Structure 1
Amino acid sequence: MNVKEMIKLNNKKRKELTKENEEYYDKMLIYIRSIVSVSEQQAEELLMELLDHLIDAQAEGKSAEEVFGEDAKAYCDEMIKQLPKESLKSTAFFIGFLLLQLASLMAIVSGIGNIVIHYFKDNSQTVYIGTAIVTFIIVAAIISLDVFLIIKWIQKSVYKITNKIKDFFLLFVLISVSLAGMTFLPKFVPPFGYAIEAGGLLYLTVGVLTLIILKWLNNKYEITK
């Protein structure tokens, strides 16, 4: 059973839990899935095992707290220690695949934007390869940092009482700073590298073709499970 099938089955079986047990288990699920250093397959197998154990215990009249204890985070941490870590090569390949998807989407959006703007205004359609690569690296770095910070926030907030107003403010600041960085930092990159006079159409074509190829590879090899 692959990861997608296990997630689907997990969603179905969780409906058998009482409201209290489901709330308890959902926190375990969020916490374990937020640990990106472990194998995704093994993490989902652990979650399924915990769910089956809880369903059986519930049938005997036991609560999740009686089964896993009052300190669910400590219990999860102990279980996580026993899971095999994702290999560095596998992690790097996975991240690289996601970054290529990001690059494809960025190219498509940029291509459509350039074509629309060029339709109303005669703007330059020159693309400098060096500038485009540096711009992508800047945007990818900002998004990667955002994802890292959000995952860390999820890990800490699952078993901690948080201030929703404070959390919303911090999220707003993070998004605002990130958008500002992705908008203005690339403007400081000077034009350099091989120039191509086909801006919007080139971005759109390359983005769509790359996304199609990545989709085919993902369906065949289940890179993102």
Structure 2
Amino acid sequence: MEVYIYTMKAKEMIKENNTLREQMTPFNRSYFEDMIIAMRASRVDSIQAEVLLLDAAKHLLKEQSKGKNAKQTFGEKPEDYFKEIMNSIPARPVRSKLNYYLMIPTVALTCFFGILAIAGLLSEWISGSTGIFSKISLFTIIAVGAGSIILIELLMKWIHSLADDDAPKPKSFDIKGLGIYIGVVVIAIFAGTFLDTLFPIITISPWVSLILGLVGGGLLKFIFFKK
């Protein structure tokens, strides 16, 4: 919920920013869009970045009404106005990145074992046998964990390629990069059908899958999502 509210605040400020830019002269607007690109590409927190950009937009419009242009207001280079602020933000800790890449497969495997548990218990209750839900290839477990990271990275690249109406962005969507990712995924799927037979099959009861799912949920709550 906090992440959702956080995102909504940023989106609301982006929309307000877009409205203010429509009131700028072509030169001022072009200059300010370069400021936006520099700020959003920096390590500054997204909410703080949008607050700073909104303040700058309002200040520019005020000076514009007095006959001044963006260079006269902020300086020769658009990125220089926020340079001190952007340089004061420390780089993202390595631990934070490590947590991010550990969290993704943990979520995927937690859901995977949870689904196996529910499906296996239902199958046992209906037919008296767990069937395929108690036999798992080691390759499948590895593929779920590693594949989740690839999938999330693909989604993040796609999301970052989008922009709100009239919002500037550094570059257009990299269709070539997407094609390469899709190609890798397709190859992995076909390779998986062969590799699956080479890896050992593990027998896990639905109750064990349920315990693994609960343990995964506990790790997410108390390690990755702790306040």
Under TM normalisation by the shorter chain, which class is it? 0.5 to 0.7
1:125 maps to what in 2?
Answer: 133
Aligned mates of 1:102, 1:8 — CA distance in 2: 26
Instruction: Name the CA shift for 1:217/1:14 in 2 (closer, same or farther; >3 Å).
Output: same
Aligned mates of 1:136, 1:71 — CA distance in 2: 47
Aligned mates of 2:104, 2:221 — CA distance in 1: 11
Asked if 1:158 corresponds to 2:169, the answer is: yes
1:57 to 39, 60, 63: 60
Given that residues 69 and 75 in structure 1 are in contact (C-alpha distance below 8 angstroms), is that contact kept between their aligned partners in structure 2? yes
Aligned mates of 1:68, 1:186 — CA distance in 2: 56
1:104 to 101, 105, 110: 110
Given that residues 114 and 210 in structure 2 are in contact (C-alpha distance below 8 angstroms), is that contact kept between their aligned partners in structure 1? yes
User: Identity across aligned pairs (percent)?
Assistant: 14
Deviation at 1:216, TM superposition (A): 6.3
Corresponding letter in the other structure for 1:177: G
Corresponding letter in the other structure for 1:46: A
- Structure 2: which 5+ residue stretches go unaligned? 23-28, 163-167
2:216 maps to what in 1?
Answer: 210
Aligned mates of 1:87, 1:53 — CA distance in 2: 29
1:196 maps to what in 2?
Answer: 203
Given that residues 121 and 130 in structure 2 are in contact (C-alpha distance below 8 angstroms), is that contact kept between their aligned partners in structure 1? no
2:142 to 134, 145, 157: 134
Deviation at 1:96, TM superposition (A): 1.4
1:45 maps to what in 2?
Answer: 48
Deviation at 1:30, TM superposition (A): 7.4
Larger radius of gyration: 2
Number of matched pairs: 207
Instruction: Name the CA shift for 1:146/1:125 in 2 (closer, same or farther; >3 Å).
Output: same
Aligned mates of 1:180, 1:81 — CA distance in 2: 41
Corresponding letter in the other structure for 1:86: R
1:92 maps to what in 2?
Answer: 98
Given that residues 116 and 209 in structure 2 are in contact (C-alpha distance below 8 angstroms), is that contact kept between their aligned partners in structure 1? yes
Deviation at 1:87, TM superposition (A): 1.2
2:89 maps to what in 1?
Answer: 83
1:11 maps to what in 2?
Answer: 11
Aligned mates of 1:16, 1:197 — CA distance in 2: 54
Query: What do the CA deviations read for 1:94-121 (whole angstroms, capped 9, x no partner)?
Result: 3212331233234445666778999899
Asked if 1:185 corresponds to 2:188, the answer is: no
Deviation at 1:88, TM superposition (A): 0.9
Instruction: Name the CA shift for 1:19/1:91 in 2 (closer, same or farther; >3 Å).
Output: same
Given that residues 146 and 174 in structure 1 are in contact (C-alpha distance below 8 angstroms), is that contact kept between their aligned partners in structure 2? no
Given that residues 3 and 44 in structure 1 are in contact (C-alpha distance below 8 angstroms), is that contact kept between their aligned partners in structure 2? no
TM-score of the aligned structures, taking structure 1 as reference length: 0.57
Higher relative contact order (CA 8 A, sep 6+): 1
| C-alpha RMSD of matched pairs (Å) | 5.1
Corresponding letter in the other structure for 1:210: G
- Structure 1: which 5+ residue stretches go unaligned? none
